[in-house]
Every structure is written in structure tokens, then in C-alpha cells.
Amino acid sequence: MTTTTKTTHTNLDEVEAAAATDRRRVQRRQLWTNRGLLLPAVIFLILLTQVPFIVTIGFSAMKWNLLYPEDRGFSGFDNFRSALTSGELWPSIVATVLITALSVVLSLLLGLVFAILLDRNLPGRALARTLMITPFLIMPAAAALIWKFSMFDTNIGMVNWMLRSVGLDTVSWSTNYPLATVVIVLTWQFTPFMMLILLAGLQGQSKETLEAAAVDGAGPWRTFTWITLPHLRMYIEIGVLLGSVIILQVFDPIAILTKGTGGTKTLAYLLYERAFIGLDVGQAAAYGVVTVILTVIVATVALKTLFKVFMAGGSR
């Protein structure tokens, strides 16, 4: 009887082991099937992004100026040494950080104001929302051209027309205030972006909490600072992070309005200048590699912070 019981247990163990092996085999087959479905996209992504980057690294190690096509050869790290010691990289980094920070902060503040206004039940609110998001839908080059000729032009610009109307002198904005000019255009364009994010946060706020605060005698300012603003913290952080990543890559307003003068030569414009004005392929590639490395660092920090924000928001 005991021998029969042992034999039964052994058979059961063998059956369970075989079943477990079959399950692992099915899971492994399913895993490789899923990987196979993603493989074409991964190959396309590698060909589209990594291969050009590897070619750029190769160009960065060459002495190659299109003005002197015969004088070409391997230069090692000379282009990187020149990029780091030329005195133009660090001012470009400062300009990039300054323009990005000012544009993001101003866009966030204005976006918060407009989001609060559009969160109310006002006549024509749907039309106002549509009109408010229009600047963000305009192409950056078109927006820069509109501001350059229709707003900031010395002779026909609306800004200088208003200054003349009140007896003030006209201002050549792109020449006298290049940094402010770029920041104004970027703020105008990205305020709707911030507004949409913050408006979504306001509409997700609990109405019962606001009603309870009103019943308890809390005024509008106290309700905003103690209830609404803490609720919007996650949305503010998301807007700042996404806005920073996008504005870091901005090129059109600088190329059209200031051409990099007056402390507005960002990394994007410096790379363009080396590649298409100086025609130095080797140095442009070196600047491009340095720019990609700095952008990856910023994007990695931003994405990790954004992930923490989402996790913190989900745990609240």
C-alpha cells in the first residue's frame, strides 16, 4: 500500500513538473513572439536614429571643411577639444538655459492665470478656449515671422505703433532687446500649452472640497493657496518638465528674429552656424555629439523626475 502511494506521488510530481515545463515553454514562445512583433519597429528606430548618430561620431573625428575639400583626414579628438575650448560652447549653454528658464516660468504663470479664468462658467468659454490654443498650433517659423514683421517691426509693427500713439520712441526689438524678443515669442507660443495642462488639473479638482471650504468660510485666496495650488503641483511639474524639453530644441525664433546675437545663440543655433555657415563638417559633428550628450542628460533627469511625479500622484 505504501509503495503504491509513493508511486502515485511520484507520478503526480512528474505530471506537475511536465506541466510546469510546458507552461514555461509556452511563456517563452509567447515572449519571443512579442519580441518578434516589435523587431521591425526596433530595427527601423535603430536605422533612423542610431546609425546617423554613429556616422556623426565618425565625422566628428575628421578634419573636414567643405571650403577646403582636399584638406581632409583623421583628426582624433581635435574637434572636441576645439569645441570645449573655443569659448562659444559655454555661452551657448548659458543662453539655452536662460531662454528656456524664462520662457517656461512666464508661460507657466500666464497659463495658470488663463486656466483659472477659463475654468469658470462664462459665456463663450468654448470659443475662448479655441482661440487661446491657437498660438501653440502655429508653426514656430510662421509664429516668428508674424512677430518679426507684424509686431516688432520698427515701421509697421503694432508694438511700435502703440508706443508712437502714446508719444514714446520706437524700439528696434531684435537689435536692442534680442533676449527679451525671443522670450516674448516663446512665451506667447507656449502659454496655451501650459494652460491646457493646468486647466485639465483644475477640472479634475473635487468640487465637494471647494464647496466645503466655502462653507467653512475660506475666501478665494485662501482656497487657492491651500487647496487648489497643492492639487495643481503635479500638473505644474509636468508642464515645467515637458516645456523645458521642448524649448531646449527651439531654433526658428532665434534664426528668424536675432540670428544668435545679443546672448541668444543657443546650442541649436550654434550647431546650425557651424554646419551651414562655417561649412565645417568635423566641428559641426563634434558640436552635435556634445549637444546630444547634454540633451540626453537633461532628458534622462527630466524623465526620471516625471516618473517620480506620476508615482507620487498615483500614491496620493
Q: Per-residue DSSP letters for 295-312?
A: HHHHHHHHHHHHHHHHHH
Read off the pLDDT of each residue in 43-52 and give the average, rounded to a whole number.
84
**Whether pLDDT at 300 is above 80:** no
Output phi, psi for 103, to 5 deg: -65, -40
**Whether pLDDT at 36 is above 60:** yes
**Whether pLDDT at 263 is above 70:** yes
Contact 105, 191 (CB under 8 A): no
Record the pTM: 0.77
* Angle, vertex CA 195, rays to CA 194 and CA 201, nearest 5: 95
* pLDDT band at 307; cut points 50, 70, 90: low
Joined together, the cell numbers standing for residue 25 give: 515553454
Q: Cell 542628460 appears where?
A: 297
pLDDT of 184 reads 93
pLDDT digits (tens, 9 = 90+) for 93-128: 889 889 988 999 999 999 999 988 888 777 777 787
Q: What is the DSSP string of 220-244?
A: HHHHIIIIIHHHHHHHHHHHHHHHH
**Whether pLDDT at 315 is above 70:** no
Read off the pLDDT of each residue in 247-265 and give the average, rounded to a whole number.
88
Read off the pLDDT of each residue in 264-269 and give the average, rounded to a whole number.
88
Q: Which residue has the higher pLDDT, 23 or 137?
A: 137
* Closest to 298 in 3D by CA, of 101, 126, 107, 144: 101
* pLDDT band at 309; cut points 50, 70, 90: low
pLDDT of 1 reads 47
CA 56 to chain centre: 23
CA–CA dist 249, 228 (Å, integer): 32
* pLDDT band at 186; cut points 50, 70, 90: very high
Read off the pLDDT of each residue in 57-65 and give the average, rounded to a whole number.
86
Length of the chain, please?
316
* pLDDT band at 190; cut points 50, 70, 90: very high
Read off the pLDDT of each residue in 167-181 and give the average, rounded to a whole number.
87
Mean pLDDT score across all residues of the chain: 81
